Amino acid sequence: MEFCMAILDSIRHPIVFVDTDHIIRYLNKAARVRYYEKRGYAEMMGKSIFDCHNSSSGNQIQQLYKRLEDGEDEIFLKINKDQEKVTLVSVRDSEGKLLGYYERFEKKDA
């Protein structure tokens, strides 16, 4: 587990992993910097992703989650105000069962 966390922390793009109950289970180092240091958010791990979004965004998350359940692996969401490509990515076990998902933020030029 320590190696997995170290690998995720080495990725310079923020990654927020959410389980199938929509609970935030992991933020890599870049995500912790973004949300805790730069934006001043309180601890997010163990909280519902819906606590971080308004009801409109929550409805969109549920619709996107259904698409992941139905087999999609990556869903492009948008280019955000920081000019990052935002993608929702499924995480599956070796048998293809959905374990959760994460938001990936990538600079367009990266």
In which band, very low, low, confident or very high, does the pLDDT at 77 lie, cut at 50, 70 and 90? very high
Percent of the chain's residues with pLDDT above 90: 60
d(CA 77, CA 41): 22
d(CA 14, CA 9): 9
Does residue 52 have a pLDDT over 60? yes
In which band, very low, low, confident or very high, does the pLDDT at 50 lie, cut at 50, 70 and 90? very high
Task: Please compute, for residue 110, the number of CA atoms within 13 A of its CA located in the half-sphere on the CB side.
Answer: 11
Domains, the chain, ranges and CATH?
2-107 (3.30.450.20)
Does residue 106 contact residue 12 with C-beta atoms inside 8 Å? no
In which band, very low, low, confident or very high, does the pLDDT at 19 lie, cut at 50, 70 and 90? very high
Does residue 29 contact residue 16 with C-beta atoms inside 8 Å? no
Percent of the chain's residues with pLDDT above 70: 97
